[in-house]
Structure formats: structure tokens, C-alpha cells
Amino acid sequence: MNKKQNKIDYLDKTGKKAKAISMFEKVFDHTLNYLNKKENYLVSLSIVRSPEMRKLNREFKGNDKPTDVLTFPYECEIEEGAPFIDLGSIILCLDVCQKDAKEYNLPIDKELAFLFIHGLLHAFGYDHHKSKKDEEIMFKLQNEILNTLPIDFYTDIKILKKKLKEAQSNAYVPYSKFKVGAVVVTKDGKYHTGFNIENSAYTVCCCAERVALFRTYAEGYHKEDIVSLGCITSSNQVGTPCGVCRQAMSELMDLNCPVYIFNNDMDKKLFTTVKGLLPYCFTSEDLNAR
């Protein structure tokens, strides 16, 4: 059986090679999966600058100003046996996206992904203009899709690696000599470091991951501020977090948060998620079960 394949006809008209298509492909596939769409879909996606968007908005919507996104759903009859279902065209305006991303304090890629999802929902017939109820349905769905995207818009892997090495070098490990470094990344672009801290009473020892996480919480951050966690051990192989740290992570981080794990030389890595490390974790809901 052929693997399901969706296609984006991508046109970057900004003259800046604004964005690679690969990010949009991930957003497209994820959105279709989320909406439980089983067929192969095609969408045209263009990124334009302000003057062109203003012209389109004036011509087709009667608004003489640039806007962030315009959607033109496919309106012709779908041909039988066509390899793709055509969803129509989505146009994004880079300049408006950049301005809004700055205003909402979001990475530009996240803003572009958000608007692409918005356009796709319109193409599937969702409409926030019709009624308050329709608006609620569409906006809730669009946020759910955005928040479950398997894309980390925030973590700079180069900075993360540097911070992990720094953290690891400070580990307090007089007994095991096994140095572990951990870093929690927050949406404000901060990298919070931790390392394992041992004790002559061995059970008091605390792992690097929990030190970094507890430190982040102690600084006033919460689950919704955290975007990822990285860790490194002094082993030649990739050493994954212990069960206790996984349990702590499962409560203090979103289950979809990425986790980046490196071996000592950083030539081996495992990129996973909190849920990937601890499926079926014990949660506060289990406390109430009878």
C-alpha cells in the first residue's frame, strides 16, 4: 500500500527565501491527522509582502489594507479519481506576520504555522465569522492543533548544547564521578541549568533533570512556560533520565514537550518527548480514581 502523501504547491514571493517548505509540510500533515482526514490533500501556499497582500485584500475582500492571511477554498467540483483533494489557496503576508509575532512575543515560525492552520481550517469549511459558537469551535481547534505540533519553535540546539556542557562541568559528584547536566528552556528564551548533586548519605542525591526543573519552578516559571528539556551524561552512550525524573517531568512539563538527550561527546543523541519517555504515567487523575 502506498504511504499517504500530501502536497503543498509552495511559492515564496518575498524575494527573501522567507521560510523552508519543510516546516509547512509538518504543519500540513499534523493538521490533517488532527482532523482525521484520510485522503491525500493538496494546498497552494504563497508568502507575499505587504503591497501584494493589500492588493489581494482590496480586490477580493474589499479591505484596502494588508492582512495576515487570506484563504481561497477550492470551489470547483472534485474530479473523480484525482490523486489529491485540492483545498485551494492560502496566502500569508510576511510583513504582517513579522509585526504580529513581535507584538505577541512569538517566534516568527510559530506565527506563520498558526496562520497556516487558520487558513487550512477555513479551507475545510470552518468559519469564525458566522456566529460566536462557530468562532469558539474554530479557535479552540486551531489552538489545539498549534499546541500539539511536533515542532519546537523555541529551542536553539546550538545554545542548548553549550549550556548543557556548562551545566555538566559543574556537577557535584564526589561519589559516582558521573557528571550529568540538564537544561530547561522557557518561552522567554532563557536556558535554566542544573546538574546532579550527590551526598555522603546516598539517598539524598538529586539528579540533574530534577535540579534544573525545580530550579526553573523556583524562579517562578510554570508548566506552560517550559518548551523543552535537554540532558547530557558523562557516558559514551546516550543515557536517558531515570524513572523518578521522568515522573517529575510528566507532571511539571507538558507531555508533548521535546526532550533532547546527548552522550558525553554529543556525537550520539536521542530526541523524544516527555510522553515518549513515560507513557501511561501516574497523574493527579489517578489519585481520584476509585
Name the grid cell of 5.
502523501
Half-sphere exposure of 238 toward its Cβ, with a 13 Å CA cutoff? 14
Among the listed ranges 25-33, 105-113, 139-147, 203-211, the one in contact with ligand THU (CB under 6 A) is 203-211
Q: Does 205 participate in binding ligand THU (rule CB under 6 A)?
A: yes
Residue 208 binds ligand THU, judged by CB under 6 A: yes
Where in the sequence numbering do the catalytic residues fall? 209
Neighbours of 7 (CB within 10 A): 15
Q: Tell me the per-residue interface mask from 243 to 262 with ligand THU, x by CB under 6 A, - otherwise.
A: --x-----------------
- 109-148 residues in contact with ligand THU (CB under 6 A) are none
Min CB(263)–ligand THU separation in Å: 13
Adjacent-strand bridge partners of 90: 45, 71
Name residue 43's beta-bridge partners: 8
Q: Of these, 66, 119, 230, 241, which contacts ligand THU (CB under 6 A)?
A: 241
Question: Per this entry, what is the length of the chain?
Answer: 290
Residue identified by cell 517550559 is: 226
237 lines the binding site for ligand THU (CB under 6 A): no
Nearest one of 125, 41, 45, 113 to 83, comparing CA atoms = 41
Exposed/middle/buried for residue 50 (C-beta within 10 Å: 0-12, 13-18, 19+):
middle
Stretch that binds ligand THU, among 46-54, 92-100, 116-124, 207-215 (CB under 6 A): 207-215
Binding mask 175-194 for ligand THU (x = CB under 6 A): -x-x-x--------------
Task: Report the first-to-last Cα separation within the chain, whole angstroms.
Answer: 45
Query: How many residues sit in the footprint of ligand THU (CB under 6 A)?
Result: 13
* Binding stretches for ligand THU (CB under 6 A): 173, 176, 178, 180, 196, 198, 205, 207-209, 241-242, 245
